[in-house]
């Protein structure tokens, strides 16, 4: 059942986000749009409450509880930037806003971008691990929380893999592409 709550919260996130942005831009209902966008974090509270209620009810912690912690961590760390990403696109499409900027393509700006994203992933992992440890303490039975302990390792592996991007970008930063030359310029004189 917890997996269904997680799926519902993810679907709800996108529905509430779309409704808030639709109210804000095409419908020009700024206050309604802002109120809907403020409701986005409430879905995290619903998921957290469902997880705690399930564990307090005597459930053995399973993969769904670990996934809930990971979802909450990543939702908190990346939620604001996801809302900003969607807002830029809605503003451009429906309110004449500037084109979305996108991520930097090369140079120091790209390196900083990759490290900033890795920082968010680190924050997400930290939040998820704190939630997992809190659930382990809440249950207080190692046999019933074995799956949660396994999630701590999984999150560490995900973060280690994520670190490849900022490290490789730092060591070998992408360079701007050189202008294409036409084949005629490289033709040998006759």
187 part of a folded domain: no
188 part of a folded domain: no
185 part of a folded domain: no
Domain region containing 31: 2-174
Residue 123 CA to residue 125 CA, distance in Å, equals 5
Tell me the per-residue pLDDT of 12-33, one tens digit each, with 9 for 90 and over.
999 999 999 999 999 999 999 9
Domain count, the chain: 1
Tell me the per-residue pLDDT of 87-136, one tens digit each, with 9 for 90 and over.
999 999 999 999 998 899 999 999 999 999 999 999 999 999 999 999 99
120 part of a folded domain: yes
Long-range CB contacts (within 8 A, 24+) of 161-165: 162/118, 162/121, 163/118, 165/114, 165/117, 165/118
182 part of a folded domain: no
Please say whether the beta carbons of 114 and 166 come within 8 A: yes
pLDDT of residue 180: 60
With a cut of 90, say whether residue 137 has pLDDT above it: yes
pLDDT of residue 56: 86
pLDDT of residue 1: 80
136 part of a folded domain: yes
What global pTM score does this model have? 0.84
85 part of a folded domain: yes
């Amino acid at each position: 059942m917890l997996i269904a709550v997680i799926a519902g919260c993810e679907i709800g996130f996108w529905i509430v986000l779309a409704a808030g942005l639709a109210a804000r831009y095409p419908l020009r209902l700024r206050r309604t749009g802002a109120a809907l966008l403020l409701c986005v974090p409430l879905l995290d509270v619903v998921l957290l409450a469902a997880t705690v209620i399930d564990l307090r009810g005597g459930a053995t912690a399973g993969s769904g509880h670990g996934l809930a912690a990971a979802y909450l961590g990543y939702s908190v760390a990346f939620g604001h930037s996801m809302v900003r990403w969607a807002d830029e696109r809605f503003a451009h499409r429906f309110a004449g806003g500037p084109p979305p900027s996108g991520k930097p393509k090369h140079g120091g700006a790209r390196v900083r971008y990759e490290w900033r994203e890795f920082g968010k992933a680190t924050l997400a992992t930290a939040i998820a691990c704190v939630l997992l440890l809190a659930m382990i303490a809440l249950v207080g039975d190692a046999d019933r929380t074995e799956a949660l302990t396994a999630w701590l390792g999984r999150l560490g592996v995900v973060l280690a893999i994520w670190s490849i991007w900022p490290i490789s970008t730092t060591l070998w930063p992408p360079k701007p592409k050189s202008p294409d030359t036409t084949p005629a310029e490289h033709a040998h004189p006759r």
